[in-house]
Structure 1
């Protein structure tokens, strides 16, 4: 058995700081001789990725549990106090929310208890609430940070810990690295401060957050409707099916829809209430058609216009609808295209487009959205993958260029933001916006495929595909590193038969031309991301996931010749070629 992992496991099993059942779980694991499981639990500490910490629940340094939650919270508390004192603050605050997962409420209370013991006032929702309401709470309470206890759309055995900073966005450098350094430097769990939760309440250090704050959020997001008059007067004509997939979305999403005028909403009964086991799905991810199966069935049974689904922490939304007898599932790029076009077109038409408008997207999101924004006179900023970078850019512009006005933000992984009241992707406001878009086109006897085709006819066709290759555990991490290194050193002039124009390496911050080998600087933070750009406008990006054991490949095909049907056919064939080629290259790594 790997000695370092075994030594760490034994140290935990012998540490009287941990409760007896926790220590017994570890000792039983050691005694069982299950070397692989001991290594998986103890070969490293949990790390902050693009969304914080996320892992399987259980005992161990590489697992989510009461003690790693406490340790992470102490590390966060130290950074809140350090940075707050630098700013001259006398009082420190944190906002806390949690989803329906196993131990989410208990972990959220642990966060509040550690913060209270550090004299940081904790504002925790009385009932489970999604990511956007956590971000709203950070900004509303003028807190220095926020924590969302969630594992988003991971399987039931996972939970996680998302850290937000004082702008309401997920934490970015240098604060994230400071928290990580604090976490890694703590070797003695008894150095973590904590107090009884009820004592924190009675001492006025822990505060419940109720419906008054939730209602302020609903008022804020509904103020951003593009055509509220249409929604109020005609909203009942759109027959909507919605599923929260056992997560946090039921109350906020149905409330927001009703407030805007969408009264014809059916909720999937089997998935309506929170359930930590997610019994009706293999994975509660609305990006996957399987997770929307019950919503689609209800949509077909009732002849509804559209079915929506949100993930457990309600920051992502997926949809399906029926066209010519077939179920259509739009991908995140297509949904984003519809939103960008509708929001910007609506603002332009109504004369409500602000001065100096801007739009933010990620580098792995379709470049067609850049073209749409340009046509409406909206400036586009591209960021690294993840809404932490999108909202970090919003925060930066708010300070450095206050004359610029935010209009929209999107990423390909089903995340969207159409307002400035929170700083993360918002599945609640996304459902109201998508309902508005569906109603807008229904009143013209059009569906969302018709709407997309109209956009493609005007701006050109793009096709986007995401390939996930999963590699688990320590061996998987090493495999992913080899795949990235092989592509990083790629020297052929062509990639799957396409001529390479340049390769972007965000780890070195350089872009290399494949025509003259010249290097140019990339104006984004360092990240383990590669981007192949081809002479015909097609792009392929690749990066290891920051929160899951996988490597992601983003294939963005551009077709400019022929009719729309010909372009679609060619893009489909080229996508298949790319998928086969990438899998072959990965297998050889």
Structure 2
């Protein structure tokens, strides 16, 4: 039987009474307008359910985020949960400030209840870390975070966690994916009305005590709590949640630690899924922190910190000698790890059983720092699902080992073991602690970085991110990876190439992943990786400079990084 065309699929949607009148009308309008391009985008495939969940533009159709694709994803998750034969299965749910997030969270709860799985849902929006913490607190089988993280406003998504509080990993992730694609009829999905399920005890609001326990837990991980309590008011903090879920939890965490001189960007304080003041609510981008930087200059602040909608990322800016500096994700990780290890060593809290986890595309300078402190460091695939998967593995196989810190270059950090995902809330409070520590020594964060570079060597990291949208974009990204997978030259820009690692072959004990690593004789590294959640391909440039003064190292590294960026961009455009 011939496969259906996208237009046929669209007509079926428009005529199916299962879908709401509004949903059918949206698709009918596309058909009437003969908008074939948009029909193709919405119906050429089922919305992809990846190893961590799904993320897409909101809208009607099988390749969009809507209540129907959320129902389908939740049914798939419930089937895997029920397969575990737990006596009283439950799933925790949280959501951020994005458009439809609360509605989609309730839809997910209705499907859970319909399948006999109890749903615990937060009364108000909360970050990723509090979802992970709730899963562990309730001893639930799984968790769901309704979010599209830092994507543009038109996106939303669905992130799946397992019973350990980490994003779901094999074999459960693949089982859920198989379940998802096995659902071909939306009418087979089981649901129970929200109010009915609440009355039946199948949906419950998460108690406030869970949040209180979380705040106490992260406060206990402060390295120098007394310094913060005594001097917290001396650091003027500018914070922005960028219209996301971070205002209440980050303000609370800072206050608990003793930071009383905190100023929130008023125009960005209120949760708003339209993110009206930014092009994209991503604190990795300087433009998203502009209003906070303006407030810092107006008030004479010491540090700007910003978090994304689901508050799992941290961006930082400071002003030094009249110039604004936006720290990279790697630099923030370097500052945090060095602070933790140097202070722990001074207090006698390092004993050879401590460990750190990072992704392979995160600066190798962290490896150098950890090893010099006698701390073991593990490298994983990109993403905190793999980082926390390693934490969970070590918890079982080497319980004597103690977790210290985890990071990836994309502005994600975890400085405690109470949750199993990157935590922007504790990252904000810890960054304030680091900044205060150095301010009391008469140093800013650039001074601190230079001191680290002098001791451990200089490393510069740059990211080239190229967007390729839609069907054509997917094909383009595939061609780029194929071209570099078949790369046969011995050098790039005069740098002798000593090895190409193809992680799709499952090397170094890691799961197979569509990642390439280029390793050069002089220590430089370049990684290529298509994004798993966005229509883009990323190139991670890592330059190591070992000769000359620190000033010369910085200049030489910048030149080489720029050359690499230009080279890979041009090669990608030709693909």
Which residue of 1 is the match for residue 166 of structure 2? 169
Residue 547 (1) aligns with residue 544 (2) = no
Q: Give runs of aligned pairs for residues 408-423 of structure 1, distance below 5 A.
A: 408-423=405-420
* Aligned residue in 2 for 1:516: none
Residue 126 (1) aligns with residue 112 (2): no
Q: Structure 1 residue 584: deviation in Å?
A: 1.2
Which residue does the alignment assign to 1:534?
520
Q: Does 1:47 align with 2:42?
A: no
User: In structure 2, the residue corresponding to 1:7 is in which secondary structure?
Assistant: helix
Total equivalences in the alignment = 573
SS in 2 for 1:433: helix
Helix, strand or coil: the match of 2:71? helix
Deviations 1:321-370 (A, max 9, x none): 10000001000000000011011111111112355111000000000000
* Distance change >3 Å, CA 50–CA 293, structure 1 → 2: farther
- Using the alignment, how far apart are the partners of 1:332 and 1:405 within structure 2? 24
Gaps of 5+ in 2: none
Partner of 1:478: 475
TM (norm. structure 2) is 0.98
Asked if 2 retains the 8 angstrom alpha-carbon contact of 1:306 and 1:320, the reply is: yes
Deviations 1:214-257 (A, max 9, x none): 11100000000000110111111111010000000000000000
Question: How far is the alpha carbon of 1:4 from its aligned partner?
Answer: 2.4
Deviates further, 48-57 or 571-580 = 48-57
Q: Tell whether the 8 Å contact from 2:51 to 2:177 is kept in structure 1 after alignment.
A: no
Which residue does 1:523 correspond to in 2? 509
Q: Which residue of 2 aligns with 1:68?
A: 69
- Partner residue, 1:6: 7
Indicate if the aligned counterparts of 2:365 and 2:456 stay in contact, CA closer than 8 A: yes
Which residue is equivalent to 1:515? none
Q: From the superposition, tell whether residues 31 and 98 of structure 1 become closer, same or farther in structure 2 (CA, over 3 Å).
A: same
Following the alignment from structure 1 to structure 2, what is the Cα–Cα distance between the partners of residues 501 and 229?
Answer: 50
What is the distance in 2 between the residues matched to 1:185 and 1:31? 31
CA RMSD of aligned residues (A): 1.0
> Shift of residue 3 of structure 1?
5.5
| Pair 1:461 & 2:462 matched | no
Kept in 2: contact 1:50–1:386 (CA 8 A) = no
| 1:384–1:337 Cα change, 3 Å | same
Of residues 312, 336, 350, the one that matches 2:309 is 312
| Corresponding residue SS for 1:507 | helix
Which residue matches 1:391? 388
Q: Give 3-state SS (helix, strand or coil) of 2:389's partner.
A: helix
CA distance in 2, matches of 1:435, 1:468: 29
Question: Which portions of structure 1, spanning 4 or more consecutive aligned residues, are displaced by more than 4 angstroms?
Answer: none
Task: State yes or no: 1:30 paired with 2:31.
Answer: yes
| In structure 2, C-alpha distance between the alignment counterparts of 1:459 and 1:199, rounded to whole Å | 61
User: 1:21: Cα distance to partner?
Assistant: 1.6
> Once the 2 structures are TM-superposed, how far is the Cα of residue 51 of structure 1 from its aligned partner?
4.1
Aligned equivalents of 1:277 and 1:104: distance in 2? 12
CA gap 1:113/1:354 in 2 versus in 1, 3 angstroms: farther
The normalised TM-score by structure 1 is 0.96
- d(CA) in 1 for partners of 2:57, 2:416: 33
| Alignment gaps of 5+ in structure 1 | 510-520
* 2: CA distance, partners of 1:49 / 1:386: 13
Residue 349 (structure 2) pairs with residue 352 (structure 1): yes
